[in-house]
A and B are shown apart, each in its own frame.
Chain A
Amino acid sequence: MKVKAQAVQERKPTAKVPKTGADLFVESLQAAGVDTIFGYPGGAVLPIYDALYRAEPRFQHILTRHEQGAIHAAEGYARVSGKPGVVIATSGPGATNLITGIADAMMDSLPLVVFTGQVGRSVIGTDAFQESDVMGITTPITKHNYQVQKQEDMPRIIKEAFYIATTGRPGPVVIDIPKDISGEVYQTAAAEEPIHLPGYQPTMKPNNNQIKKLIHAISTAKRPILLTGAGILHAKASEEVRAFAKRFQLPVTSTLLGLGAFPASDPQFLGMAGMHGTYAANRGLYECDLLINVGARFDDRLTGNLEHFAPQAIIAHIDIDPAEIGKIIPTSIPVVADAKAALQQLKTAEAEMPDTETWRNHLQNYKEEYPLWYNNPAEDLIPQWVMKAVHKATDGNAIITTDVGQHQMWTAQYYGFDRPNRWVTSGGLGTMGFGFPAAIGAQLACPESKVISVVGDGGFQMTMQELSVLQERKLPVKVLIVNNQSLGMVRQWQEFFYQERYSESLLNIQPDFVKLADSYDIKGVRLETQEQLVAELPSLLQSDEPVVIDCRVLRQENVFPMIAPGKGLHEMIGVSR
């Protein structure tokens, strides 16, 4: 029997109830401009959920089927909208189910404000039912966290939390609310307090001397390269970075998370750098004499062996987080600033143009000689080819979310992001199960956009219960399962580095994803041949309904090219056929 979706529940008329701490909570969210909440109720947040029930106007509350789904959805929402994602979960298991998402948001600098219920103040510390030490657990994986100790502190704390989450280097802030704080009738009026955070003053404007130094370095460079990171996206500075790159004719490469900051189809773009980056990008980083890093953090998947990372280069690093500068790579031109502010100065500062024609031609040769490649036997579905087909069917304009692994790398390599904030992926933490709920959040943030969740068959099985949300909300998210019946990246490493001992990486038993979708009253399709895909994919992706596409790709396909662990940028394997 199919269950008919019921989008919004009917509300009982509410009798006049006295104002509680939870009403203060609701008012504070309204003051912060929140309209969408991802959450899951439970004992310690009953007062909060009651206040949400009574709230006018109503919040759009997305009831995911697992707290992990809620927080990844909030991450997707934050990633594409730039607005903070708001999450509510109950105490104990509700809170601990959020941990992966909080850590993920911390690594990828996503603004979240996360509310967890807590047991009443009188029983905190007694191992009460559904108690967990949320402050202790979340301290190392949050930008900041609070436990509300007094009702009258709540408005200030919530205001501060939104400010901290969204300014400077964005990140998750957790607010732990004991049940009695939210449940008790509210007594004293809270004073309207301005935000006062003397220990938190992000540096926005760059230092003029450093900008001058950088301009001088650019003017005298023979082999400059620009590395774009996600900091550009957070700063909404893609226009500026483009103007800057154009002005100085800089070759451009990107981190995984920075994709879309600079258009992939621009002739100056060398492709993504790093472990599965292009040959041209990695050679560019290896051979350059000036590396201008804007908003990236020199992650190990980008740098490879540090000894061989940009060994001849002057390093310039623009970052809003001073702790990132010099953390991995000694930096001679540190610029602590918001990327937008720094790039605005760089694109207009007086400067002599460097002569880089030889260098640009040299890199262009790499680009032409060693492009990304794959074999494409007619009888199989090849994942790289599938990603190109997805690009074609969507004109490269869709919002794409992924998990981590092979499908993520293929998407990064072949989708070709020309616009910012279309790419939602778990980069730093590398979280399986991220992509599908993130797509839900992205679709809610951008109802008019085409949202495609490209997931592996392994990752999808970690959070596929959120199909309920698609069904309930009629969200037209397209789930494209790159199904190779294995944990592809694990399998690939076992093939290369563990003599093909495929330990626990082959998923021979799987649900029938088409039937699974059907049980949620969602259209499911299995695609097994190129012919079938060419015929069906465009209409499936253009449909206004949610669709689950089980794309049966060649099982043993690998991601190339590659820098093996411990190797340098110049030691890529699988560069050509």
Chain B
Amino acid sequence: MKRIITATVQNRSGVLNRITGLMQKRQFNIDSISVGKTEVEQISRMTFVVEVEDMQKLEQLTKQLHKQIDVLKVADITDHAIVARELALVKVVCPPASRNELQSIIAPFRASAVDISKDSMIVQVTGDSDKIEAFLELVRPYGIKELTRTGVTAFLRGHQPQAADGNTYSLITN
């Protein structure tokens, strides 16, 4: 099963290496990782999308992450109310004749053309992973020359329905 896990970490050298290393050592499959600074200086936030077999493996992963000295907080937010976003840049084959047609696909996805050359167009699309997949399916017939994706970054929504509590491992709650 796919899980979205976030970790806030101290922004020290080697912390990313330590975390990806432990995932490799313990045989966890990482779908994507995104890392960046937060509102607090010296604190970074990581978002992982991982493929785990079962809840026991998942618990083990969050515990191992939390065990790292530089990791402040770990949460599996998959079952919470969240905002999850990813950004993709797609270079699509696009001779001048297809430009309008492509624009008409872009519009409903609220994507945007960020670069146009004589035979290609770079499209930037943002959203959850499903939306990006759907967009890629639509433009694939035109020919995708290059594709890059940032991986998911995610946040808890401001308001949480009560039922979704109880899946954080940041503190040991016996």
Contacts and interface: CB of A to CB of B under 8 A. Distances in A.
A327 B57 CA distance: 8
B25 to A, nearest CB: 5
Interface residues of B, number: 23
A140 B174 contact: no
Interface string B148-174: 000000000000000000000000101
Contacts of B66: 322-323
Interface in A197-215: 197-200, 203, 207, 209-210
B96 interface: no
A145 interface: yes
Interface in B1-50: 9-10, 13-14, 17-18, 21-22, 25
B172 A323 contact: no
A209 B174 CA distance: 8
Interface in B57-111: 59-60, 63-64, 66-72
Contacts of B68: 199
A106 to B, nearest CB: 12
Given A336-B172, A336-B174, A327 B69 contact: no
Contacts of A164: 69
Interface in B111-138: none
Contact of A200 (B22, B64, B69): B69
A61 to B, nearest CB: 29
Nearest to A207: B174
Nearest to B71: A199
Contacts of B71: 199
Given A197-B69, A199-B69, A199-B71, A139 B14 contact: yes
Contact of A143 (B22, B25, B56, B69): B69
Contacts of A207: 172, 174
A156 to B, nearest CB: 13
Interface string A124-136: 0000000000011
Please indicate which of the listed interface residues B13, B14, B69 has the most CB atoms of chain A within 10 Å of its own CB. B69
* 6 cross-chain pairs, A with B, having the tightest CB-CB distances, nearest first: A207-B174, A323-B63, A144-B69, A199-B72, A336-B172, A200-B69
Given A144-B69, A198-B72, A336-B172, 17 more contacts: A135-B13, A135-B14, A139-B21, A145-B14, A147-B14, A164-B69, A199-B68, A200-B69, A207-B172, A207-B174, A322-B63, A322-B172, A323-B64, A326-B56, A326-B59, A327-B63, A334-B174
